[in-house]
Amino acid sequence: MNESMEYLKENVKKEESISNDVTALLEAYHSASQDERKFLESSFKSYFGQLEIINNSILEMSNDISFDSKNSDRKNKEKYKRIITSRGSVFVNKEDRSRYLDELKIADVKKSVKTGSSRAMNRAEEDKVEIRNPSQFVIFSNKVFKKSAKNLSENFSFLDKNLKQAGMPFILTSYISLMLFLTISILIVSVILALVLSLGGSFLTISRNVLISLIIPALLFVFLLAYPNLQAQGNSKKLESEMPFALSHMAAIASSKIEPSKMFGIMAESKEYPMFSSQMKKIKNQMDIYGYDLTTALRNVSKLSVNRKFSELLNGISTIIISGGDLLVYLKEKSKDVLLDYKLSREKYSNIIGMYSDIYTALLIVAPLILMLVLSFMGSVGASFAGLSVPFLANLGIVAIVVLNILFILFLQITQPEI
């Protein structure tokens, strides 16, 4: 019976929250434009739909309450499904769960109303769900290569996980369709260009140019195949660089004894840690949209995480919540460990940079000076090397120095850790 009463309390609180949102929308409605009112009206309908579902659940719960607390609680667990949102929990009939989630999505107020009630509007937007429409380019690719993409999806199944880890807004078949469209388009253009440039040439020349033209689409296909994984690895580096500071922030929030699910909601809205916040949004969406509890959401996101440390963090938080441990102590200790790793990695990189500077000095400062002295001596005596004149060797050396400097800068850019 105690658990049944808790269900009723949560639903009543949710009804009160929805009533406040409806009041806020009504205040904004009077000064809204015609187009903005259409969005607000759809939100009104959605909120009324939510209230209807919650009212039905409250009525059924009231009828099911009995003094046999064990029997009553058992029936409620079987009959009602808990849905967690960023603004609290609600218990609805299992049959109404999908309908309630649909109404929750419709409640998204997509346009801000520029009135004095902007604060009320922002509060009404807290439960919004972001929906993106595919580009026309992707739609066209799907239409042309839909069947081929489905047939190839089994061979490229590894891409599905890479796309999710990279946070790219593609499903597997759409991305394969896009790969095929771009590769075949570039292939056609390359072959036509090779044939045009070979006009009047021999068969050998035409064959050589066509074979060379095949290299570009082949490289493009390989790049598109590897890009999701490269993007995921880049996200992993950014995430790891933000973790020490984000965890300190989380520990500060946890010290206020706030509910863990709300803590993740606060971190999801933070703009100081873009990559970390994006991962927090995934956890929030697992609860708000799919209706998972916090521990299940944490495990689901940890399975898809490309960063080992972040995955361990989420699994650790999940274990602490289940076991009833002290989350604040765990976050503080984890923050110290991650910050220590961060400092050690920077010290290690500083030592490596010292070694790189010695190599740079030897190869790209001292060696070119010696080369120029040798070339000056060869020029004064009229000597040559392998039939190449001294001016040609000097120009070749200058080009080589420029290319090596560019490659060295790119190497440093790739190997340096995220700041």
Structural domain includes residue 70: yes
d(CA 359, CA 216): 34
pLDDT in tens, 143-160: 888 888 888 888 888 898
pLDDT of residue 310: 92
- Please check whether residue 280 is in contact with residue 264, taking contact to mean a CB–CB distance below 8 angstroms: yes
| 163 residue type, one letter | L
- One domain for residues 149 and 106: no
Structural domain includes residue 202: yes
Distances (CA, A) of 3 to 7, 69, 74, 95, 307: 6, 8, 9, 21, 39
- HEC per residue, the chain: CHHHHHHHHHHHHHHHHHHHHHHHHHHHHCCCCHHHHHHHHHHHHHHHHHHHHHHHHHHHHHHHCCCCHHHHHHHHHHHEEEEEECCEEEEEEHHHHHHHHHHHHHCCCCCCCCCCCHHHHHHHCCCCCCCCCCCHHHHHHHHHHHHHHHHHCCCCCHHHHHHHHHCCCCCHHHHHHHHHHHHHHHHHHHHHHHHHHCCCCCHHHHHHHHHHHCHHHHHHHHHHHHHHHHHHHHHHHHHHHHHHHHHHHHHHHHCCCCCHHHHHHHHHHCCCCHHHHHHHHHHHHHHHCCCCCHHHHHHHHHHHCCCHHHHHHHHHHHHHHHHCCCHHHHHHHHHHHHHHHHHHHHHHHHHHHHHHHHHHHHHHHHHHHHHHHHHHHHHHHCCCECCECHHHHHHHHHHHHHHHHHHHHHHHHHHCCCC
- One domain for residues 42 and 89: yes
Closest CA to 162 of 216, 218, 234, 238: 234
pLDDT of residue 105: 55
The domain boundary, picked from 124, 148, 167, lies at: 124
User: Is the pLDDT assigned to residue 402 strictly greater than 50?
Assistant: yes
pLDDT of residue 113: 36
pLDDT in tens, 191-219: 998 888 888 778 888 888 888 889 989 99
CA angle, residues 294, 52, 35, in degrees to nearest 5: 90
Q: In the numeric block, which tokens belong to residue 232?
A: 């995921």
In the chain, the percentage of residues whose pLDDT exceeds 90 is 15
- Please check whether residue 388 is in contact with residue 394, taking contact to mean a CB–CB distance below 8 angstroms: no
- One domain for residues 21 and 112: yes
- One domain for residues 91 and 156: no
d(CA 405, CA 8): 70
pLDDT of residue 130: 45
Structural domain includes residue 46: yes
- One domain for residues 144 and 117: no
Place of tokens 């992707």: 138
- One domain for residues 58 and 92: yes
pLDDT in tens, 241-300: 899 999 999 998 888 888 888 899 889 888 888 899 999 999 988 888 777 888 899 999
Q: In the numeric block, which tokens belong to residue 418?
A: 């995220």
Structural domain includes residue 143: yes
- One domain for residues 66 and 154: no
- Please check whether residue 137 is in contact with residue 176, taking contact to mean a CB–CB distance below 8 angstroms: no
pLDDT of residue 125: 43
| 374 residue type, one letter | V
Identify the weakest region by mean pLDDT among 65-74, 380-389, 393-402: 65-74
- One domain for residues 360 and 385: yes
Structural domain includes residue 220: no
- One domain for residues 98 and 141: no
Model-level pTM?
Answer: 0.56
Task: State which residues form the domain around 56.
Answer: 2-124
- One domain for residues 12 and 120: yes
The domain boundary, picked from 196, 213, 230, lies at: 213
| 349 residue type, one letter | Y
pLDDT of residue 39: 63
Instruction: Supply the mean pLDDT for the chain.
Output: 79
Structural domain includes residue 283: no
Q: In the numeric block, which tokens belong to residue 322?
A: 């289940």
Pairing type for strands 88-93 and 80-85 reads antiparallel
Structural domain includes residue 221: no
> Please, what is the end-to-end C-alpha distance for the chain in angstroms?
54
- One domain for residues 9 and 119: yes
- One domain for residues 120 and 57: yes
Number of independent structural domains in the chain: 3
The domain boundary, picked from 63, 96, 124, lies at: 124
Q: Which residues contact 253 (CB under 8 A, 6 or more apart)?
A: 263, 266, 267
Structural domain includes residue 282: no
